[in-house]
Chains A and B, each alone.
Chain A
Amino acid sequence: MVIAFTNARVIDPASGRDALGSVVVRERVITSIDGDIPADARVIDCGGRIVAPGLIDAGVFTADAPACLAGGITRVVLMPDRSPPLDDPALIEFAQRIGKPHVWVHPLAAATQGLAGVELAEIGLCQEAGAVGVATGRGAIADAGVMLRLLQYASGFDLVVVTHAENAALTVGAVATAGEFATRLGLPAAPAFAEAIAVARDLRLAAATGARLHIRQVTTAESIDLVRAAKAAGTRVTCGVTPGHFLLGEQSVSGYRSFARLSPPLRHDDDRRAVLAGIADGTIDVVASGHDPRTQEDKRLPFADAAPGMVGAETLLALAGTLVRDHDMTWPALLATMTSTPAALFGLPGGRLEAGAPADLIVFDPGAPWRIDAGAMAAAAGNTPFDGLPVQGRVTMTVKGGEIAWTL
């Protein structure tokens, strides 16, 4: 099938292109940008809407295809926190097939056996089986010796190591950020510097080993400063964040709303603003959804007993779009954090609009108003702290492998 997307604001973050034009896809690849429209093409007039590469969601816990397509996500990087954990080549091979045909799943291998943080998993074999990196999972590796050996070993395979930045000993039992707010609510809390301590350790170990480090979420001013300094010093580090940590502060857990229980926990407003600044100046490379559907059984519990995590795939672009409207970011720069940057980081095809690239793209109306409704989501569950929030910007069509996989 040949499809021509005409009258489109074509944005290719990798090249910085942002201009009206057309895109033609044939079979599974993009054949031309601004080229002739073939006679046999099905023409879709985009009415000036944005056409951009399909989003690459760098760090989800479930390959939730309906939610991904509704959010314009055509590839996900899957965390190894599955049951059983993805610490075996056979499991990696299986995981890649979960989302096909519409969403391609690129699994991260568990860094340690069973994600227990003790013995290294067979990460080289997992890489051969298709793992695009290794990850410590929902938690950090507590033992600095194990972390050092992991980074040393992974550097030999040029595997990126994805870490969770919370010092394990300081965050035992904690469900909130220490401070007045957690004290008033009586919630077990850990100091925000528990993140900076973990970041500082891992940055130092990465510098010592030359390994590639990706900190999946940086959420405090102090840890963002550490990453900024490490990048300037030449450490091979990248980092990411999810919309919860730049749009919500710790006040969102008032009333013990367990949908706002995230890991790391929501922070003070100063930290939230530091995250915004970190995205704006490029210290934070990746914006991801952290998509983690949780059922009522996991969430309708006393706050400290509830599981952390939120669904975010179908709201990712609309929520991140606030950075363009309210914080002077450009669409190409923002889209890069969700397309070309994660593609380069994990060595994935896609994430760009150019002849020969995979025909994964979205049509996106940046002005369309809608309201997030937890009760009417495509996701496997409705655990979003943004329920009821009016947002702007909606994916109207998702094209995967040259086929229209979803339309609004």
Chain B
Amino acid sequence: MTPPPLPSLLPEGVHPFPHRHLLGIAELKPWEITWLLDEAEGWIEVNRGLRKRDDRLAGLTLINAFFENSTRTLLSFEIAGKRLGADVVNMTVGASSVKKGETLLDTALTLNAMHPDMIVIRHGESGAVQLIAEKVDCPVLNAGDGRHEHPTQALLDALTIRRRKGRIEGLTVAICGDILHSRVARSNFQLLGSLGAKVRAVAPATLIGADVDRLGVDCFTDMDAGLDGADVVMMLRLQRERMSGAYVPSTREYFHFYGLTAARLAAAKPDVLVMHPGPMNRGVEIDTAVADDIARSAISEQVEMGVAVRMACLDVLTRRSRGVPGW
């Protein structure tokens, strides 16, 4: 089911993407977001075809520098880069000299000296990707920094919602779970809010963060109230590895009050879309029956959209260096 084309928000005469890097949603205008989503749409059919190949990045080197463990995002970027014909190199922290005491900036300068055409970075500290971006000569794409931003995740979530619902404006989106530690939540609050969705944050008070309402979302500590009438429910992973101290008493109690079950989901709209950025903790934040409900769960589709969004971002960010007319 292909939705009808949407009118472009891009104002006349405005450059669709006047950014050197993609570090966060906060720096993007609404029309830049929708334009990126439109670009990503074009890659979905390519990815579904037999010959998933486009050589526009042939000869370009893409470095995926992941200072924090990741399987799915790294894989998604690697596939996106390879389908565009780039030479993709992965650097993960386990195999790097970071463990030998090299500073982050020295690592960045080392990478830079190898003349990559694009660096995709994930790092455990907020702001680390921006720090590197200031020091290298090529575009940098933030694949997640600390609890700050994860822009391609928010873009792929928006693309998934837009394809399923035909729009984003006016939808009620409940983002549930560990808001405090979540970069996905921060990027989604800003993206969905700027495109006109009504966004809710649903979490125990210990995991919601200070002044989150100032980011334009309504906060709920009662899951049932937070899901009431929702068009989209986005679950977040309980990030136990980031927790030092007691945020929730137990996973059992957490699931009891904040786990997404079919019964709880009944409060949402009948055609509610269930999403999760992965990896899922089944039985902790989401019930298996809900996660696997083909009619309502968009979790696999999110992964699919992820590749398309990342192909679009890699294409767009390298247009200037590739000398694409108008860039």
Judge whether A172 and B210 touch: CB under 8 Å: no
Q: Which residues of A, 217-233, contact B by the 8 Å Cβ criterion?
A: none
Listed residue (A182, A183, A300) with the most chain B CB atoms within 10 angstroms of its CB: A183
Residues 173-196 of A, flagged 1 when their CB comes within 8 A of B and 0 if not, give 100001110111111110100000
Judge whether B215 and A173 touch: CB under 8 Å: no
Alpha-carbon distance A185/B209, docked complex (angstroms): 12
Residues of B with C-beta under 8 A to A19: none
Residues of B with C-beta under 8 A to A300: 103, 105, 131
Alpha-carbon distance A189/B126, docked complex (angstroms): 12
Judge whether B244 and A186 touch: CB under 8 Å: no
A305 at the interface (CB under 8 A from B): yes
Residues of A with C-beta under 8 A to B215: 180, 183-184
B214 at the interface (CB under 8 A from A): yes
Task: Say how far B107's CB is from chain A's closest CB, in angstroms.
Answer: 12
Alpha-carbon distance A185/B127, docked complex (angstroms): 8
Alpha-carbon distance A255/B148, docked complex (angstroms): 12
Judge whether B211 and A180 touch: CB under 8 Å: yes
Give the contacting residue for B214; candidates A183, A187, A188; CB below 8 A: A183
Given contacts A172-B245, A184-B186, A256-B131, contact A302 B211 (CB under 8 A): no
A301 at the interface (CB under 8 A from B): yes
A303 at the interface (CB under 8 A from B): yes
Residues of B with C-beta under 8 A to A180: 210-211, 214-215
Judge whether B103 and A303 touch: CB under 8 Å: no
Residues of A with C-beta under 8 A to B211: 178-180, 183
Residues of A with C-beta under 8 A to B209: 183
A303 to chain B: closest residue by CB:
B127
B183 at the interface (CB under 8 A from A): yes
Residues of B with C-beta under 8 A to A303: 125-127
A304 at the interface (CB under 8 A from B): yes
Give the contacting residue for A186; candidates B103, B104, B145, B214; CB below 8 A: B145
Number of interface residues of B (CB under 8 A): 26
Judge whether B147 and A186 touch: CB under 8 Å: yes
Judge whether A186 and B183 touch: CB under 8 Å: yes
A297 at the interface (CB under 8 A from B): yes
Give the contacting residue for A301; candidates B104, B126, B214; CB below 8 A: B104
Residues 263-277 of B, flagged 1 when their CB comes within 8 A of A and 0 if not, give 000000000000000
B128 at the interface (CB under 8 A from A): yes
Given contacts A255-B130, A304-B126, contact A184 B103 (CB under 8 A): no
Q: Which residues of B, 181-203, contact A by the 8 Å Cβ criterion?
A: 183, 186
Alpha-carbon distance A304/B212, docked complex (angstroms): 20
Judge whether A302 and B244 touch: CB under 8 Å: no
A256 to chain B: closest residue by CB:
B127
B85 at the interface (CB under 8 A from A): no
B123 at the interface (CB under 8 A from A): yes
Residues 288-312 of A, flagged 1 when their CB comes within 8 A of B and 0 if not, give 0000000001001111110000000
Give the contacting residue for B103; candidates A179, A188, A297; CB below 8 A: A297
Judge whether B210 and A187 touch: CB under 8 Å: no
Residues 258-295 of B, flagged 1 when their CB comes within 8 A of A and 0 if not, give 00000000000000000000000000000000000000
Alpha-carbon distance A267/B214, docked complex (angstroms): 17
B231 at the interface (CB under 8 A from A): no
Given contacts A186-B183, A187-B126, contact A302 B148 (CB under 8 A): no
Number of interface residues of A (CB under 8 A): 23
Task: Say how far B214's CB is from chain A's closest CB, in angstroms.
Answer: 4
Give the contacting residue for B125; candidates A255, A297, A305; CB below 8 A: A305
B229 at the interface (CB under 8 A from A): no
Judge whether A302 and B127 touch: CB under 8 Å: yes
B30 at the interface (CB under 8 A from A): no
Judge whether B131 and A172 touch: CB under 8 Å: no
Task: Say how far B129's CB is from chain A's closest CB, in angstroms.
Answer: 9
Judge whether A189 and B210 touch: CB under 8 Å: yes
Alpha-carbon distance A362/B220, docked complex (angstroms): 60
Residues 98-135 of B, flagged 1 when their CB comes within 8 A of A and 0 if not, give 00000111000000000000000001011110110000
Given contacts A187-B126, A256-B126, A303-B125, contact A182 B210 (CB under 8 A): yes
Judge whether B125 and A178 touch: CB under 8 Å: no
Task: Say how far B133's CB is from chain A's closest CB, in angstroms.
Answer: 11
Give the contacting residue for B186; candidates A186, A297, A305; CB below 8 A: A186
Alpha-carbon distance A134/B148, docked complex (angstroms): 40
A297 to chain B: closest residue by CB:
B103
Alpha-carbon distance A120/B211, docked complex (angstroms): 40
Alpha-carbon distance A243/B105, docked complex (angstroms): 30
Task: Say how far B163's CB is from chain A's closest CB, in angstroms.
Answer: 28
B124 to chain A: closest residue by CB:
A302
Alpha-carbon distance A27/B123, docked complex (angstroms): 60
B75 at the interface (CB under 8 A from A): no
Judge whether B105 and A185 touch: CB under 8 Å: no
A172 to chain B: closest residue by CB:
B244
Listed residue (A172, A185, A191) with the most chain B CB atoms within 10 angstroms of its CB: A185
Q: Which residues of A, 249-273, contact B by the 8 Å Cβ criterion?
A: 255-256
Task: Say how far A257's CB is from chain B's closest CB, in angstroms.
Answer: 9
Give the contacting residue for B210; candidates A173, A191, A301, A305; CB below 8 A: A191
Judge whether B210 and A302 touch: CB under 8 Å: no
Judge whether A186 and B123 touch: CB under 8 Å: no
Residues of B with C-beta under 8 A to A182: 210
B16 at the interface (CB under 8 A from A): no
The 5 A-B pairs of least Cβ separation, nearest first, read: A256-B127, A186-B148, A302-B125, A180-B214, A186-B126
Which residues does A use to contact B, with CB under 8 Å? 172-173, 178-180, 182-189, 191, 255-256, 297, 300-305
Q: Can you list 21 residue pairs at the A/B interface with Cβ under 8 Å?
A: A172-B245, A180-B210, A183-B210, A183-B212, A183-B214, A184-B26, A184-B186, A184-B215, A185-B126, A186-B147, A187-B126, A187-B146, A187-B148, A188-B147, A189-B210, A300-B105, A301-B104, A301-B105, A302-B131, A303-B126, A304-B126
Given contact pairs A183-B210, A303-B125, A304-B127, enumerate 7 new A-B contacts (beta carbons under 8 Å): A185-B126, A185-B127, A186-B183, A297-B103, A300-B103, A300-B131, A303-B126
